[in-house]
Amino acid sequence: MLLRRTPLAGPYQRCNMANDALNDKLKAIDSNRSIILRRQDAFLPFESRRLDNYYRIELTYTSNAIEGNTMSRVETKILLEDGVTPEGKKTWEAREALGHSDAFSLMLEMVRHGRIDTITATVLKLHSLFYRMIDWENAGVFRDGPVYLAGSARVPPKASLAPEMMIEFDKEFNEKSQYLHPLKLAAFAHLRLVNIHPFVDGNGRVARLLMNLVLLKNNYQLVSISPEDREKYIKSIEATHNFELEASEPMLFYHFIADCELKSQKHLMRVLERVGQLDTVNN
């Protein structure tokens, strides 16, 4: 008996399968979002503050670790809560943690008090807080020279193009916000900022803060990208740097961020269960 060989999926078939899989994830994310919104208002104020502090430490640790900061999660917690700089760590590592913590607090304030300005203004404010203790002259200021990305063949746009590209970013973000799913919109904002690379340093950290701002503004959960997922994260970005020039969407990055969001939602649902807000957890 001869076995018929199954043909490999063509590009359009693969694209459709990726879209279907992503849509399934987005449906699960939206379902979890509805459950969380119905329950989390019952959080007591001190519980909300504890959750804010958890994410402040977690996002500061993970976002810096991805960029080469060697401070551990515990060391980051001690620094941010007790003001104690761990022994053996470089001054700039502690300053990165303190700066990110300040920028995270600003991001929360922007969302909760309706103080979100244009993308450009928001990004400049976030970068200014993150970078001011590292290099105050370049904090919140677009770069004026070339930058090079370690481990990447991509060359960021010329510095002179950054202001104009940020204006276009503002327009495109506003347009896409009318029809794009909020998770895709958050992922798009991250990718676009990384593509423009407007600052001498700190672009990735500000991009992750911006992404989380969009998620939180739309009542989704903050996501952190663990150092263990760094390679997968970088590959998903590298594969989609020029997605705006292609017919397809940045599916690999959408999937990666969707997985991160699902993980964050399940974590919060477990927290809600522990404080008696949920009887069961959807796995």
Catalytic annotation, residues: 197
Distance, CA of 172 to CA of 182 (rounded, Å): 14
Check if the beta carbon of residue 198 is closer than 8 Å to that of residue 39. Answer: no
Q: How many angstroms separate the first and last alpha carbons of the chain?
A: 43
Check if the beta carbon of residue 181 is closer than 8 Å to that of residue 189. Answer: no
Q: Is the dihedral of CA 60, 102, 130, 74 positive or negative?
A: negative
Distance, CA of 86 to CA of 78 (rounded, Å): 8
Angle of helix 251-274 relative to helix 182-196, nearest 10 degrees, comes to 120
Lookup: tokens for 128: 């200014």
Check if the beta carbon of residue 60 is closer than 8 Å to that of residue 98. Answer: no
Q: How many CB atoms lie within 10 A of CB 277?
A: 19
